[in-house]
């Protein structure tokens, strides 16, 4: 029963060990996206093979880089016109390595805010953390996880947090 009570904490803290890489992504240059793809084990596939592993889509004020992991999890990294990753989102069979997609600093801020919340009001279920530095949400169950994180000060003008999905 204790395991389930602390499941949200496990989702945030337990996955830190999944990736030994300390490459920052959120709040960093878009160059880190290719490193993310390699470190998360995504394999580039040709467009003719059906699924494109890494794909870019453009909006007026940002681009989206999509990485498909081998377990069908999709990670989207949102890049502003300055070339900085301002948001990430994921959905699929697993939670991606949070240290890889958030970076060490953002992950540490998320963990600290979550632990402070749990000290005041312990709860189970989806994790939602909102600070001046980062907004983080993760929920779901095995084989159906969803989540997102973004840096509020890096959101381009006219972009809503709900666009990061």
The continuous run of DSSP H or E covering 4 comes out as: helix 2-5
Domain ranges of the chain: 2-163
The string of pLDDT tens digits covering residues 116-129 is 888 888 888 888 98
Residue 66 confidence (pLDDT): 85
Residues (pLDDT < 50) of the chain are 1-24, 44-54
Q: Which of 61, 59, 63 is nearest to 76 (CA)?
A: 63
Residue 10 confidence (pLDDT): 44
Helix, strand, coil % (nearest 5) of the chain? 35, 30, 40
Half-sphere exposure of 82 (CA within 13 A, CB side): 10
Residue 70 confidence (pLDDT): 82
């Amino acid at each position: 029963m204790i395991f389930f009570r602390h499941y949200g904490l496990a989702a945030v803290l337990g996955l830190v060990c999944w990736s030994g890489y300390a490459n920052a992504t959120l709040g960093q240059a878009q160059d880190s996206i290719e490193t993310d793809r390699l470190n998360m084990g995504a394999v580039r596939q040709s467009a003719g093979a059906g699924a494109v592993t890494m794909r870019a889509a453009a909006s007026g004020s940002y681009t989206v880089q999509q990485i498909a992991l081998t377990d069908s999890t999709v990670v989207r990294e949102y890049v502003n016109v300055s070339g900085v990753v301002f948001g990430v989102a994921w959905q699929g069979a697993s939670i991606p390595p949070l240290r890889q997609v958030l970076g060490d600093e953002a992950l540490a801020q998320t963990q600290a805010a979550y632990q402070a919340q749990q000290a005041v009001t312990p709860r189970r279920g989806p994790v939602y953390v909102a600070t001046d530095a980062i907004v983080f949400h993760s929920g779901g169950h095995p084989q159906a996880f969803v989540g997102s994180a973004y840096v509020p000060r890096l959101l381009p003008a006219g972009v809503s947090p709900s666009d990061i999905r």
